[in-house]
Amino acid sequence: MTDDSFHVFDTTLRDGAQREGINLRVTDKLAIAKLLDEFGVGFIEGGWPGANPKDTEFFERARTELDLRHAQLTAFGATRRAGVAAAEDPQVAALRDSGAPVVTLVAKSDDRHVELALRTSLDENIAMIADTVAHLRDSGQRVFLDCEHFFDGYLHNPAYATRVVSAAAEAGADVVVLCDTNGGMLPDDITRIVGEVAQATGARLGMHAQDDSGCAVANTLAAVNAGATHVQCTANGYGERVGNANLFAVVPALVLKRDMDVLPEGCLREMTRVSQAIAEIVNIAPSTHQPYVGVSAFAHKAGLHASAIKIDPDLYQHTDPALVGNDMRMLVSDMAGRASIELKARELGFDLSNDRDLVGRMVERVKDLELAGYSFEAADASLELLLREELGEPVRYFDVESWRAIVEHHSDNSHLSEATVKLHVKGERVIASAEGNGPVNALDRALRSAMEGVYTALANVHLSDYKVRILEGSSGTAAITRVLIDFTDGHSDWTTVGVGENVIEASWIALQQAITYGLLRQGYPSLQA
């Protein structure tokens, strides 16, 4: 663990798993725990042992399958029931027997929840907290207490909410966490209330923020400014309703903006990798515009920005993307200026700094093509092929004589798609036909069939994703169509773009470019060479 003076506490496996659409297996939870440990968090809340079989199994397997270097595993659970001693409560026993060195207890701190939800007295709720904390401490476990609905409770009855904090601290809770359970607080509320509670109780305070008002990260940072030394977050902001404070926004803000050493040395650089890996495990596409770790977090499009970045990247970036394991990207579009083209070309491996005429031609071609419907922001492969044309080094492996695609509908509601291509490949005229589960798939197969005898590496190149968009400002089925196609060779990925008056024409353009770029990556010499 890092210095115990400040806690980065992750609750992805418990609170984050309550997000709609996430359903973690035990193996998923173990894999995420390992990734969070690599990121360097101090505590990983694994779930509620005894409450469900999955979490109970997780803690059992964690004893032998998790070898954590930085984090301590934390079990979550409730205080004892009303009228039952903590030592005799089976839920408390499950926490005690979980093997977790740390237990996080949840308790009511809003008097209305005590009386209406728990249906017990305010004094009994205090006794439940003190008894459970003391019992687990006597059993050798460290205890954190989450004060559920604390801020709403404080606004309604500040004396009772403060009494809960004091009771937990006096019973031996190392940290008392103030929870904005409904997510409705604003940063100025958090700053004031955390400061008042810290002064009134002297307890070590933590912060747990939901994001229902869009302020979870800001509220967490406000609590730290007011004296909290424990922050609870989730990877990528996962959580119930709209989510929790995003671990990958809170931590870099503390490290890079507040100069706080809250992670072990070198761990911050793992952040983008860990964020994306967790997104893959939970099967939710990573947010491209997530701060720090999104693929667009350091992507620059406007020509004015690119001109400044060419001189000094810090002029339009709030931090160095390498510090969080990310990269700067230049987007080429109809907003592109000369600097955008130069920087993007450099990213692709071409130095255009001494060729002003070429840069000018590229700027005009890109703007003309985008006016016609093309978009090169996500199609680096198409842009590189365009750039090579302007450099006088066009890439060509085949010439197209003609192509066609047909879709046949049968009376039994089955469909058959068939495509035929006529190509000239290294001086030979080749005709190939293929069937597919759609016209684009049939064209892809026919194109491969015509060329695989000459270019054997095509066997390793596969279409991995396909996106189509009807462009704004056009009408219905007669509208201009843009297609983006993703290909992979198992080692790297690339994207091409095609635009046409119908989806098949646009797809054919993107397919040709994708196959051409794939052969270029495999090292085949162009027929022009």
What average pLDDT score do residues 171-187 get? 96
Partners of 467 in the beta sheet? 484
Q: Are residues 350 and 325 in the same domain?
A: yes
Q: Please tell me which residue, 83 or 302, carries the higher pLDDT value.
A: 83
Q: What is the chain's alpha carbon radius of gyration, rounded to the nearest angstrom?
A: 29
Residue 25 included in any domain? yes
Q: Are residues 237 and 326 in the same domain?
A: no
CB 14 within 8 A of CB 46: yes
CB 359 within 8 A of CB 400: no
Least confident segment among 148-162, 204-218, 391-405, 481-495:
481-495
Strand 205-209 and strand 230-233: the pairing is parallel
Q: Are residues 331 and 201 in the same domain?
A: no
Q: Is the pLDDT of residue 12 over 70?
A: yes
Residue 384 included in any domain? no
Work out how many domains the chain is built from and give that number: 3
Q: Are residues 313 and 450 in the same domain?
A: no
Q: Are residues 328 and 252 in the same domain?
A: no
Q: pLDDT tens digit string along 259-292?
A: 999 999 989 988 988 998 888 888 887 788 899 8
Query: Which residues, at least 6 apart from 418, have a Cβ–Cβ distance to it below 8 Å?
Result: 405, 406, 408, 433, 434, 435, 436, 442
Specify the DSSP element, H or E, that contains 46. Answer: strand 43-47
DSSP string, 228-241: --EEEEBGGG--ST
Residue 152: predicted pLDDT: 95
Domain range for 345: 299-371
Least confident segment among 24-33, 159-168, 339-348, 364-373:
339-348
Residue 388 included in any domain? no
Q: What separation, in Å, do the N-terminal and C-terminal C-alpha atoms of the chain show?
A: 58
What average pLDDT score do residues 54-67 get? 91
Q: Which CATH number does the domain housing residue 413 bear?
A: 3.30.160
Residue 368: predicted pLDDT: 81
Specify the DSSP element, H or E, that contains 2. Answer: none
The number of angstroms, rounded, from the C-alpha of 322 to the middle of its chain's C-alpha atoms is 17
Q: Are residues 187 and 107 in the same domain?
A: yes
Q: How confident is the model at residue 336 (pLDDT cuts 50, 70, 90)?
A: low
Tell me the whole-structure pTM to 2 decimals. 0.68
Residue 378 included in any domain? no
Q: Which CATH number does the domain housing residue 167 bear?
A: 3.20.20.70
